[in-house]
Amino acid sequence: MNPRDPFLNLYSHGFARVAVAVPVCRVADPAFNAAETVRLHREAARQGAVLVAFPELGLSAYSCEDLFHQRALLEGCERALAEVIEASRGVGAVAVVGLPLQVDGALYNVAAVVLDGRLLGVVPKSYLPNYAEFYEARQFSPGGQALATEVTLCGQTVPFGAQLLFAAQTGQMHAPLTFAVEICEDVWVPIPPSSFAALAGATVLVNLSASNVTVGKADYRHALVSQQSARCLAAYLYSSAGPGESTTDLAWDGQALICENGTLLAESERFRADAQLVCADVDLEKLARERMRQTSFAASVARHRGELAAWRTVRFALRRPDEEVLPLRRVFDRFPYVPSNPQLLDARCEEIYQIQVSALVKRLQSSGLKKLVIGVSGGLDSTHALLVCARTMDRLGLPRANILAYTMPGFATSLRTLDQAMRLMEVIGCGGGMIDIRPSCEQMLKDLGHPYASGQPVYDITFENVQAGERTSHLFRLANHQDALVVGTGDLSELALGWCTYGVGDHMSHYNVNASVPKTLIQHLVRWVAARGEFGEACSRALIDVVETEISPELVPGDASGQPQQSSEASVGPYELQDFHLYHTLRSGFAPSKVAFLALHTWGDAAAGRWPEGVTARNAYPLAEIRRHLRTFLWRFFKTSQFKRSCVPNSPKVGSGGSLSPRGDWRAPSDAEATVWLGDLEQVPER
């Protein structure tokens, strides 16, 4: 790969690097505070950021109290702002700085937006706290009282008001940057100005805050900022006053936060004695797509169109950082479907099982049946489904013998998987047993006139599907005979890739508990049950053996030692990578070029021999491999597999990553083309 290929620049894929600064300040020393602001502004730009937010009243310090009414301080703050504006020439990043400003005889707590020697606009604080330790109404007027819509400051006449949007005009950034500013208390009120700003089009919300620290307040800020970013489907930058503010009556912790749609991306270290600059890469494209996907957001815009008419847009030219290569700093989960927080691990895994179990309980109750039929292969999917069945029977107070589990060896069943199936069925206490399907398959092949019936070793798709079909036929007829319900075992990954035989057990059933659970999550869940030991030590050992078995359909006879000749991942690609592709395609609607960029960032690095933390050369994927496997995914997902998904049985949706049920997250024509997705993939360098 060309090391200067723009493909490696985060701005080519809808991201923008933003920053929040916590400078060291001096109370009532605007010149010192301006110098610190300039230094951190330049550092943010050097790191590739295009937007940096500073604390509330940062040029004066927040804790000046009645000094705000002193002419010397106000004039000093205006000179300090002029220094910041002049120093911003050629920096290339927008700075949002706080200061006191007199307008038409009233004093306002404002945010000044600065870029490349220009003042773009000034935003006053709307809500002034005047309770407990706060006395802002003593010094300032609320922004809503201002009559002026423009202000002349530092020799420039610019828009003034709380209802301003700042929209970047650039052909180089893949997704547009539009931001709005509010100040501290504004986000603590029932309907913050940023809520309307988001409806008016802002995808990035900036809060210049001071916010003194008290016990427990940091956790509340986390919740407040996270929730506001989630409700607004936006990124939220929150600054806070830090070292140097007066401790006459208050203390300060310098907590700065960057959240995106409810997720904390970056945070400062609280109580630091030195200045800090916190950067994060926000996904502007994803935010825009979330707003498009959640149609209630557009409905809210329509409902409030009267209030939104007052918002004005300040447009400005912004060039992205010159570096052609600007890698992401943001960390993405390699296994996006798998619970990644160890502290939440038990709760999340238990919740997943509870969702599946409660769904199966309801289906049994509504059907009036008390027995389940399931095919157990000794592989991952049927093992996980069997565990769900066992928990279901326990929940209903029915004997596990009501689980009629059948393992049905065929021409290619390995001794290992057969042994694992038998062990699992025994330790769980299932009814059922083993049915050898080879005689009925031989009869079918004979009836078809297949070469295998006359002794020729022809292992074609017909040979494979005769075995799969016979298993399914047995399961449905056993269910008829035993007055039971057939439980499906096929997973989300197989449905996405079309790696299932039409109309058979991994595709068709009376009810499928696994249809929205991907392969990587099933591996994780089975390991989790084994570690808990809830079904006993013998079961845990069998479960670990299942997880460590190579994934294979076992439909073609293996080698002389009995090892399977087929590997699912050799045909459809590694599930760990294909599940990554699936998540970002299905959940976020990203173009293949962006999916490849994220995969390269997560599973491999552009610098040869250097991998992300936790990835080794053994399980890393160079760009050429990512591109090859993504092509397989796109072709199978968009072109060849939808007809199978259009008629899948009922199944509960488990995670927010999506399902492929035609009654749920995914509705698509069965005869669409994959041309546009494969065409976009051509933008990805071959190596």
- 279 closest CA partner among 346, 232, 322, 326: 326
- In sequence order, what DSSP letters do the residues of 226-249 get, joined into one string? HHHHHHTTSEEEE----TTS--SS
Is residue 378 marked as binding?
yes
Q: Is 127 annotated as a binding residue?
A: no
Cα separation, 191 vs 52, in Å, equals 25
Is 489 annotated as a binding-site member? Answer: yes
Active centre residues (catalytic):
56, 125, 184
Gap between the Cα atoms of 220 and 236, Å rounded: 15
Q: Report whether 502 belongs to an annotated binding site.
A: yes
Please report which residue ranges of 483-558 form alpha helices under DSSP H.
492-497, 519-532, 537-547
The verdict on whether residue 616 carries a ligand-binding annotation is no
What is the Rg, in whole angstroms, of the alpha carbon atoms belonging to the chain?
31
φ, ψ of residue 285 in degrees (nearest 5):
-65, -45
Residue 187 annotated as part of some ligand binding site: no
Give me 183's structure tokens: 């100040």
State the pairing for strand pair 178-183/204-208.
parallel
**Shortest CA distance to 176 belongs to which of 289, 81, 332?**
289
Beta bridge partners of 314: 166
131 assigned binding-site residue: yes
Q: Which residues contact 303 (CB under 8 A, 6 or more apart)?
A: none
Query: Any known ligand binding at 377?
Result: yes
- Cβ count within 10 A of residue 49: 24
Beta partners for residue 51, in sequence order:
18, 94
Host H or E run for residue 431: strand 431-434
**381 labelled ligand-binding:** yes
381 close to 522: Cβ distance less than 8 angstroms? yes
371 is in an annotated binding site: no
- Rounded-to-integer distance, Cα 496 and Cα 518, Å: 9
In DSSP terms, 434 is beta-bridged to 407
Nearest partner of 238 among 220, 212, 259, judged by Cα: 259
Residue linked to tokens 């927080």: 341
333 is in an annotated binding site: no
Do the annotations mark residue 644 as ligand-binding?
A: yes
User: In sequence order, what E strands does 46-129 have?
Assistant: 51-53, 94-103, 106-115, 118-124
DSSP string covering 263-299, please?
EEEEEPPTT-SS-EEEEEEEEHHHHHHHHHH-HHHHH
Is 14 one of the annotated binding-site residues? no
User: Please, are residues 278 and 256 in contact by the beta-carbon 8 Å criterion?
Assistant: yes
**Beta bridge partners of residue 160, listed in sequence order:** 122
| Structure tokens belonging to residue 597 | 């960029």
Backbone angles phi, psi at 124, to 5 degrees: -85, 155
- The answer to whether the annotation marks 501 as part of a ligand binding site is yes
CB 353 within 8 A of CB 318: no
Binding residues for deamido-NAD(+): 465, 494, 499-502, 644
Binding residues for L-glutamine: 131, 211, 217
Binding residues: 131, 211, 217, 375-382, 465, 489, 494, 499-502, 644
Binding residues for ATP: 375-382, 489
